[in-house]
Each structure stands twice: as structure tokens, then as C-alpha cells.
């Protein structure tokens, strides 16, 4: 694949990435590539003569989007660009990310490899999530990591009726519930003792949050399933999508989650390994600390 137009998307309202971003823009322009700056990024770091573009323009014009930031920046860009099928690559501006796997110090080296056609492609699916109230949709969005239903700011537990393809799994008394993609399995779901799902696994994890009874365990269901989570009276709740969007749900609402028809494509530089990333991020092979 030839990358003639590349969009640069930086961490939200972070002028400190200006130097890294602009040096990458200069490098790309030197390779004869048209560079687009995402409008929010340009507002934070300045346009410096580069064309400024909305996500929609990036979606229709760019052959590749380079995300400079962390996994949160990648999550936001992935949801915004999912419908356009623009490949994404992440340059981490801090510690190695789960999805932003080119380090800041190796930016030019990593991007050069991509431009030269040396990369691997990986598909990640998203979730379609909607909130139904008396059968009518009152909210809808996408999530790449997870959909989290919790008690919001109320101190008590909530009761959730969890169904898969219309069949009751359980009525859960807990602080909440996480519905996670394989991508999100190393995020919030991991801290709730959920399973790590390899990105190639076609499954969705349902992970209880601090359940009232220890017999409630995480379960992974096929990605073709429709998951319904009903808020039982009298409990209201709050629904979070990738930790970046939220919706205040009422007792009686149903949160419906299923695999989206949209997916994202991540491009990885040579040498990328999912298991190596896990070892580094989760310190699986580090020397024990005394």
C-alpha cells in the first residue's frame, strides 16, 4: 500500500507534543507525502502551514493516520475513524502503550519502515452500544475497549439482569459490569480479574465488578452474540464507553451491546509482538522485587 496522504492526530489539548509532531510532519513532507493536521491538534500546536482537517476529511482523504499520544488518544481516533477504514499507527509519547507501540525515540525509524512497506496489519473489532428506554433508543455510540455499567456516584450496589441472545445468564448484584472486546481485555477488565483475550480471539468478555457473591465469574461469549444488560428497579446507573463517553441510565433501561460492523486496522512496525508487549506492560519477565 502506498501512503500518499498521512494525517497526524495528537493527544488532546497537549501543546507539549508539538516538537515531535512537527518534526514528523517535516520528515513526511520531505518524502513527498501530503500531511493533514487534525483540527484539534492544530489548535493545540499550531498549523505551521499544513492543511487542517476534520476527522471526516481525514476519513475520506488520508491513506494512514498517525496517532501521537497514548492509548486514550488512539481510542478516541479509532472510534472517530472506524467508519472510514483508515489504517492507524500509534506513536507513544510516554511509556509503551498497548496500542501505541512505536516509541517516541524511534518515530522516524518506525514510520520509515511503514512507508517502505515493512509492517504487519491487525484487525480489531469495535462494539455497537445503545441504551434502550421503553424499547426506544435514547443513546448510541461505538466502543473499542469496553462498555461499563456501574452505580455512578451512588454508594450502594446495583442489580443487573444480563442476557445473551435473549437468554438469561444471571441477575447480578454488584458494583457494575464490564463488557469488553479483546482490545479492552488488557484495560479496566484486567483490573477486575477478567481474562486476557488475544486480539485474534472472536469473543466478548462479560466481567462483573465487585460482585456480591464470589460465584459470579467472568465469561467470554462469541462475538456474534447480542448482550443485553437491564437495570432493575429501583437502581439507576451510569454507562461508560471507553472511559471517554458516558450516559446516565435509569431503572428499566437496557444497555444492548453487540459487535459492530466497523473494525479498525492497526499497522505495526517490524519486530512487533503482542506477547512481548504484554511481557513489558505487565512485567511478566521482570526480576522479582524484594
Q: Cell numbers for 87, please give them.
A: 489504517
Q: How far apart are CA 87 and CA 259, in angstroms?
A: 19
DSSP for 100-146 reads --EEGGGHHHHHHHHHTT--EEEEEEEEEEEEEETTEEEEEEEESSE
Q: 99 near 245, Cβ under 8 Å? A: no
The reply to whether omega before 234 is within 30° of 0 (cis) is yes
CA dihedral in degrees (91, 93, 99, 101; nearest 10)? 60
Neighbours of 275 (CB within 10 A): 9
| Per annotation, catalytic residue among 71, 146, 228, 242 | 71
Whether 105 sits among the annotated catalytic residues: the reply is no
Phi, psi of 157 (to 5 degrees): -75, 165
Question: How wide is the angle at C-alpha 133 spanned by C-alphas 130 and 136, nearest 5°?
Answer: 75
Catalytic site residues?
A: 71
Amino acid at each position: 500500500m502506498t501512503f500518499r496522504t498521512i494525517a497526524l492526530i495528537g493527544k488532546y489539548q497537549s501543546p507539549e507534543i508539538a516538537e515531535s509532531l512537527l518534526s514528523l510532519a517535516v520528515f513526511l513532507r520531505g518524502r513527498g507525502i501530503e500531511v493533514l493536521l487534525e483540527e484539534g491538534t492544530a489548535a493545540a500546536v499550531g498549523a505551521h502551514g499544513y492543511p487542517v482537517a476534520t476527522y471526516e476529511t481525514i476519513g475520506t482523504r488520508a491513506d494512514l493516520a498517525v496517532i501521537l499520544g497514548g492509548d486514550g488518544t488512539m481510542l478516541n481516533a479509532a472510534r472517530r475513524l472506524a467508519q472510514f477504514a483508515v489504517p492507524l499507527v500509534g506513536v507513544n509519547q510516554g511509556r509503551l502503550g498497548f496500542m501505541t507501540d512505536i516509541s517516541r525515540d524511534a518515530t522516524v525509524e518506525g514510520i520509515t519502515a511503514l512507508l517502505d512497506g515493512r509492517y504487519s496489519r491487525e484487525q480489531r473489532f469495535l462494539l455497537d452500544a445503545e441504551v434502550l428506554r421503553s424499547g426506544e433508543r435514547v443513546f448510541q455510540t461505538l466502543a473499542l475497549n469496553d462498555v461499563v455499567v456501574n452505580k455512578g456516584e451512588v454508594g450502594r450496589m446495583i442489580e443487573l439482569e444480563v442476557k445473551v441472545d435473549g437468554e438469561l445468564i444471571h441477575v447480578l448484584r454488584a458494583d457494575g459490569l464490564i463488557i469488553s472486546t479483546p482490545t479492552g481485555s488488557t484495560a479496566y477488565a484486567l483490573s477486575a480479574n477478567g481474562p486476557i483475550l488475544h486480539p485474534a480471539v472472536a469473543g466478548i468478555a462479560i466481567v462483573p465488578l465487585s460482585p456480591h457473591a464470589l460465584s459470579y465469574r467472568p465469561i467470554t461469549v462469541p462475538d456474534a452474540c447480542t448482550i443485553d444488560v437491564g437495570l432493575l428497579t429501583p437502581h439507576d446507573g451510569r454507562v461508560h464507553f471507553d472511559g471517554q463517553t458516558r450516559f446516565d441510565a435509569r431503572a428499566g433501561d437496557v444497555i444492548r451491546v453487540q459487535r459492530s460492523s466497523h473494525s479498525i486496522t492497526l499497522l505495526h512496525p517490524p519486530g512487533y509482538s503482542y506477547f512481548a508487549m504484554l511481557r513489558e506492560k505487565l512485567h511478566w519477565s521482570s526480576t522479582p522485587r524484594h
